[in-house]
Amino acid sequence: MHWLPGHPYASHVVTALNLLLPEGERWFVRTFNEALPLVADERLAATMRGFIGQEAVHAKSHDKVLWTFIDAHGIDPRPYQLQMEWVFRRILGPSRSGSARAQCKHLVERLWLIAAIEHYTAELGDFALNCSWASLGGDPEMVDLFCWHAAEEVEHRAVAYDVANYFGNSYLARARTMLLVLSAMLWLLFRGAKDIARQDPAIRRLGFIGRRREYNRGVRANVLPSLLGLTWSTVKYFRPGFHPDEVGSTAQAVAYLASSPAARRAG
């Protein structure tokens, strides 16, 4: 199931990320639908509706294309998918107890969590639009699926941040939720890659040191983002004057969307 020739571990890491995203995107949609009736700013509300539509299409398209590809190559992603459902539906679901004020506070906390996650998806989207997947012979359908999603993440990179600020302009909330997201995303991503790699004899025998070596090789080949780069992106988010518009290029994202077969099919 190596959609990227010569880089089996990189294939697994990117696949794991894209297995993590659909359930997260459905959680984004549910949370934004919960917040939308409380937004009086019609311009922001319209932007939120566009975001909801994009995320819903992403989740559906990922499930259809990615699962078909994985199943065809004998990999069972269902145990990992069930874990993601538990995280996003049970742990991060809306609070039904406490006062209305407490429930609103819980909603704002989830909106800031989404803003932190969207910071990483924008950074990873920018990486995907500038990486070497296509030039190294990656499966065209998979590369286009990932880059279409990446382009839309860059395009709407500021929406979740602006919504969270609308409900609660708090640097403390922004910083606290980023710390939670950083540790959780790293754990979920590498757990997913490990679960998938365990089903691949070519990777299973590598062990931790071997997988780390393969990750570094993927970074050198520009098919995986460097952990140093992701660390720097985290530091940027903590800067008081930070805004997501600093990440990536809208012009590049829009240009890719105009030429993407996956984007045309989704539209």
Residue 92: CATH number of its domain: 1.10.620
Predicted confidence at residue 141, as pLDDT, reads 87
In-domain check, residue 2? no
Tokens of 211: 């997988």
Predicted confidence at residue 117, as pLDDT, reads 93
CA distances from 64 to 70, 143, 145, 239 (A): 10, 15, 11, 39
In-domain check, residue 82? yes
**C-alpha–C-alpha distance, residues 20 and 85, integer Å:** 9
pTM attached to this predicted model: 0.90
Sorted by sequence, the CB contacts under 8 Å of residue 42 that are 6+ apart come out as none
pLDDT in tens for each of the 267 residues of the chain? 578 999 988 888 888 777 778 888 899 999 999 999 999 999 999 999 999 998 888 777 766 666 677 777 677 777 777 888 888 888 888 877 778 888 889 999 999 999 999 999 999 999 999 999 999 999 998 899 889 989 999 999 999 999 999 998 889 999 999 988 888 887 877 777 777 777 777 677 777 788 889 999 999 999 999 988 888 989 999 999 999 999 999 999 999 999 999 788 776
In-domain check, residue 152? yes
Q: What share of the chain is helix, strand, coil (3-state, %, to 5)?
A: 80, 0, 20
Sorted by sequence, the CB contacts under 8 Å of residue 252 that are 6+ apart come out as 129, 151, 154
CA distances from 96 to 23, 79, 103, 106, 158 (A): 21, 28, 7, 10, 29
Predicted confidence at residue 66, as pLDDT, reads 67
Predicted confidence at residue 155, as pLDDT, reads 94
In-domain check, residue 80? yes
Domain count, the chain: 1
Say which DSSP state 36 is in. Answer: G
Whole domain around residue 178: which residue ranges? 8-266
Predicted confidence at residue 92, as pLDDT, reads 84
In-domain check, residue 1? no
Task: Write out 113-139 in H/E/C secondary structure.
Answer: HHHHHHHHHHHHHHHHHCCCCCCCCCC
**C-alpha–C-alpha distance, residues 214 and 192, integer Å:** 16
Tokens of 188: 């979920």
In-domain check, residue 3? no
In-domain check, residue 159? yes
